[in-house]
Amino acid sequence: MNMRRPLGLVAVVAALGFAYLGWTFFKPPEQASGPMPSEPVSLQAPELRPEAGTAAKPGDPQAGEASADAPTAPGAVLESDAGSDAGSDVGSDAGADAGADAGASAETGDALVDPAAGGGEQVFEILPGESVARFEIDEVLRNVPTHVLGRTDQVSGQIALDPADPAAARVGEILVNVRTLATDSEFRDRSIKNKILFTDRYEFVRFTPTAISGLPASLAIGERASFEMTGDLEIIGTVRPASFAGSITWVAPNRIEGSASTTLRYDDFGISIPAARSVNAVEDTVILGLDFVAETR
């Protein structure tokens, strides 16, 4: 029996297989599709709330209805008289004399404060180029324990924050363009993008915060505060809950800086690391971190 033809076919198939594997590892990764997008965080309407040390009676209104000719300036405070008939409106004009008791209820005398008068909630935009998203993982490379650090400055997001009430802060969706990740090895970078994160299909890692806790009642310029942020983390199309611990510093009236990180098992997201002859072992967990700089728009 002539075995040359079957052996030849096997050789061709094997060559094609090796060529495909080589291409998937060594092909140039997809480039970033464009500038970083940013999901907007809408500003909340300022709430009128009692000053510290006062307490409103249950059922008392905190703010009344504005009259037809009421000014629209954010510093204007309007309140209905809790003791008056439902149809009567009592308001104060922003230009009224300082002695006018515009912020007091006729029945309780509780003073009301408009947070906009102190600056109010502002939207801070995370700055690509100045901010850094990173991952850290330990491996054994050619029998040498190695700490791998990958970084990108292509990260975006928005933070709605009132320094007078940081506990009410909100954070919009945070995007990281993983097509721009880089370590100290081009070979590793290609493997990460082509065979681990499949960046040709999944350009972004997304984190959608759902809750923030631990922030103080107020924050002054130069002060640092710790927080914990929980939400939904999406990697290669798989969404899992995640919790980040971090800190934030109000650096200037229009600038905040901070960092946050978490440790997770990457196989929870369906991620597997392909075997490589030079890599003896890889840790089961990875650290994800964000060092951010954000300024008001």
Looking at the structure, tell me whether residues 60 and 199 fall in a common domain. Answer: no
* Burial category of 236 from C-beta neighbours within 10 Å (exposed 0-12, middle 13-18, buried 19 and up): middle
Flag whether 217 is in a domain: yes
Considering the domain architecture, whether residues 111 and 79 belong to the same structural domain is answered as: yes
Do 112 and 124 fall within a single domain? no
Per-residue pLDDT of the chain (297 residues; tens, 9 = 90+): 555 666 555 555 555 544 444 444 455 767 777 766 766 775 454 443 343 344 444 444 444 443 344 444 333 333 334 344 434 443 444 444 434 443 433 333 333 333 333 468 999 999 999 999 999 999 999 999 999 999 999 999 999 999 899 999 999 999 999 999 999 999 999 999 999 999 999 999 999 999 999 999 999 999 999 999 999 999 999 999 999 999 999 999 999 999 999 999 999 999 999 998 999 999 999 999 999 999 997
Among the candidates 85, 116, 147, a domain finishes at 116
**161: nearest Cα among 61, 250, 293:** 250
pTM of the entire predicted model: 0.66
Both 56 and 134 in a single domain? Answer: no
Does 31 map to a domain? no
CA distance 252 to 210: 27
Residues 80 and 155 in one domain: no
- Does the residue 223 lie in any domain? yes
Q: Please check whether residues 163 and 266 belong to one and the same domain.
A: yes
Q: Does 12 fall in a domain? A: no
The answer to whether residue 163 sits within a structural domain is yes
Do residues 144 and 103 both lie within one domain?
A: no
Would residue 220 count as lying in a domain?
yes
Q: Which of 116, 147, 171 is the last residue of a domain?
A: 116
Q: What's the domain count of the chain?
A: 2
What is the CATH number for 199?
Answer: 2.40.128.110
157: left (phi over 0), alpha (psi -120 to 50) or beta: left
pLDDT of residue 33: 73
Distance CA 160, CA 122 (A): 6
Please indicate, yes or no, whether residues 155 and 266 belong to a single structural domain of this protein: yes
Domain coverage including residue 84: 47-116
Where does a domain end: 89, 116, 143? 116
| Whether residue 177 sits in one domain with residue 272 | yes
* Residue 172, Cβ density class (10 Å: 0-12 exposed, 13-18 middle, ≥19 buried): buried
**Distance between CA atoms of residues 256 and 194, nearest Å:** 35
In a domain, 110, yes or no: yes
Two tokens, residue 95 = 């230009």
Q: Where are the beta strands (DSSP E) in 29-118?
A: 49-50, 112-113
173 and 79 within one domain: no
User: 96 and 237 in one domain?
Assistant: no
Asked whether residue 7 is assigned to any structural domain, the reply reads no
In a shared domain, residues 61 and 131: no
Q: For residue 280, count other CB atoms closer than 10 A to its CB.
A: 14
